[in-house]
Structure 1
């Protein structure tokens, strides 16, 4: 082994950032963000602000379901609004028939599993643009059925007066319920992504042919991923209809599914908090900026274009890259400074290797 190679390896070893430090920083940021979310109702926030925060969190849960499929499995769905709408219609119909909220939740679960299974069976043997088109077609089918079966869905008039459980009737109590659901969903999807199932799913994303040659059932993994993603989307639909007390076919429209894709791309595909960041941008533009600007979709489009051009990893992904770049630069400057402890260690190691001592 040459002295130059030994020197390079030594410098890289001593100058490399510590993975544990990065994980600690991420954990601290998550804790601070959660603490801010818990303290929001006590910081003088109005009922509108708290309710808007609930809307953002619900949108983030729904975007997380799309982000899981896209990030872990490489499957971009244009029909997840249909899954959430099916769950919401189960709640709305049960509420109109006079069932209590517990039974409403069971109807939501049943509709979620049924529609997610239909999505998964129809799309599990497709990939790429074909997967995208199949989910789009099934989503349009759900939208069409919501219009046609007006006796069940109320047609264009929708279903109103949907009450949530009495114990969460207050807006701030419901906010904490939604916040807890978002934390559980985010943690659950992170655990699934870190599990052997998640690793196999990423293998399917990278090379389906290789996974087949290794004996993996690629369609089964895709179906399993879609069922997990669909369950999260169904939860978002349940929370959404309890939040608005109203359900109409527009919630199953293609534009809603497109908004979910926009949220995921804005936040960063495959990132942990990307869905929350993307949902915050889209919901704030749609619900707040629209009060001042009539052409708010144009503003949202411009934001999307800027992110695509200058932050292709999304907001969360680009911030992470920027922090890593700053850390590497600071480490490099510290290493090059002979007066710093790290620079002294590197200089001593390089001198020792150049003298021919302690060579492996």
Structure 2
């Protein structure tokens, strides 16, 4: 436990020093990675820990983003107001959608989440007066905290960094708790967990809402970061991107979605600057991981570590014989 806290503080300190060593371009890239890492972590609650594969997670991202944007433009740019209402909107949407989705499983769950997400996308795309329609919303005010305004990319980065670490810590605490262990049990064998007396429907429903809330948080941060939001950010491909991040990084782990988000964002940025068909490259990367490295980046790291540990005693034994 103590090592975890030390690693947590070291990681926070290293990232906090980023504005002093990175260019503005790379700092913005890091901000985007942290925002999408929260989004991937929220989906990981469903996919990695509960075993519910969703293709509709973009709905919560979009509702959080558009709620924060509309409130900032028409009511108040105060961060507690915009973020609070974004979380509330995502919570309500997840509560409603979840009531229907948890009644099914497998392929039907995936398709039902996709259907609801596309309904939200269609509403946003057609509600021109409220959401700006296909043009999106631009000129969104920077978030404020009292009289303090997060008026430049460095301040936005620190805001994103703080919310990321709070989100990571909260989600880690939840999945490591007895509640999180029940979710893992549902993923492995729901029938057995149900026979032990657990209300698996309640656990899946609460996990769905939890994932929706943090999806909304990442959407609000995306609005703060970009100052712009468009319907394309609510389209099902956004859900697919988050799913790829989770699977490539390592589903069912906390570090995996973060690494997956970093890889996909960096890959998109680098490859798209050279070729137009960067999605083709992304597809090849995804296929490679699914076929050859199903446990993702974290799984590769764990395998390398185990091999190193196994070889070390043999080396020490040979050394002692030689002596």
TM-score (norm 1): 0.83
Q: Distance in 2 between matches of 1:232 and 1:189?
A: 9
| 1:269 Cα deviation from its structure 2 partner | 0.7
Q: Trace 1:293-312 onto structure 2 (pairs within 5 A).
A: 293-312=275-294
The answer (yes or no) to whether the contact 2:77–2:141 under 8 Å persists in 1 is no
For residue 76 of structure 1, give the secondary structure of its aligned residue in structure 2: coil
Identify the residue that residue 84 of structure 2 maps to in structure 1.
106
Q: Distance in 2 between matches of 1:32 and 1:319?
A: 20
Match of 2:255 among 273, 291, 298: 273
Identify the residue that residue 322 of structure 1 maps to in structure 2.
304
Q: Trace 1:211-290 onto structure 2 (pairs within 5 A).
A: 211-290=193-272
Mark the CA change 1:314 to 1:86 in structure 2 (over 3 Å): closer, same or farther: same
Please say which structure displays the higher CA radius of gyration: 1
| 1:118 Cα deviation from its structure 2 partner | 1.8
- The yes-or-no answer on 1:162 pairing with 2:140 is yes
Mark the CA change 1:108 to 1:334 in structure 2 (over 3 Å): closer, same or farther: same
Q: Distance in 2 between matches of 1:275 and 1:70?
A: 11
Match of 2:187 among 191, 199, 205: 205
- The yes-or-no answer on 1:67 pairing with 2:49 is no
Q: Distance in 1 between matches of 2:141 and 2:190?
A: 45
Q: Trace 1:344-359 onto structure 2 (pairs within 5 A).
A: none
Structure 1 unaligned spans of 5+ = 1-19, 342-360
TM-score (norm 2): 0.92
- Cα deviation per residue 1:236-276 (whole Å; 9 max; x = unaligned)? 01100111111111111011110011111111111221111
Deviates more, 1:322-331 or 1:262-271: 322-331
- Cα deviation per residue 1:181-224 (whole Å; 9 max; x = unaligned)? 11111111111111110111111112221122222111100011
Match of 2:108 among 130, 136, 149: 130
Identify the residue that residue 12 of structure 2 maps to in structure 1.
34
For residue 269 of structure 1, give the secondary structure of its aligned residue in structure 2: coil
The answer (yes or no) to whether the contact 1:334–1:340 under 8 Å persists in 2 is no
Q: Distance in 2 between matches of 1:123 and 1:70?
A: 14
| 1:51 Cα deviation from its structure 2 partner | 1.1
Q: Distance in 1 between matches of 2:72 and 2:6?
A: 42
Q: Distance in 2 between matches of 1:231 and 1:339?
A: 59
| 1:310 Cα deviation from its structure 2 partner | 2.6
| 1:288 Cα deviation from its structure 2 partner | 3.3
Mark the CA change 1:212 to 1:340 in structure 2 (over 3 Å): closer, same or farther: farther
Question: After TM superposition, which residue ranges in structure 1, 4 or more long, deviate above 4 angstroms?
Answer: 26-32, 335-338
CA RMSD of aligned residues (A): 2.1
Provide the aligned length of Structure 1 versus Structure 2.
318
Q: Distance in 2 between matches of 1:294 and 1:32?
A: 38
Q: Distance in 2 between matches of 1:260 and 1:325?
A: 30
Deviates more, 1:45-54 or 1:327-336: 327-336
The answer (yes or no) to whether the contact 2:126–2:134 under 8 Å persists in 1 is no
Mark the CA change 1:311 to 1:38 in structure 2 (over 3 Å): closer, same or farther: same
Q: Distance in 2 between matches of 1:333 and 1:312?
A: 30
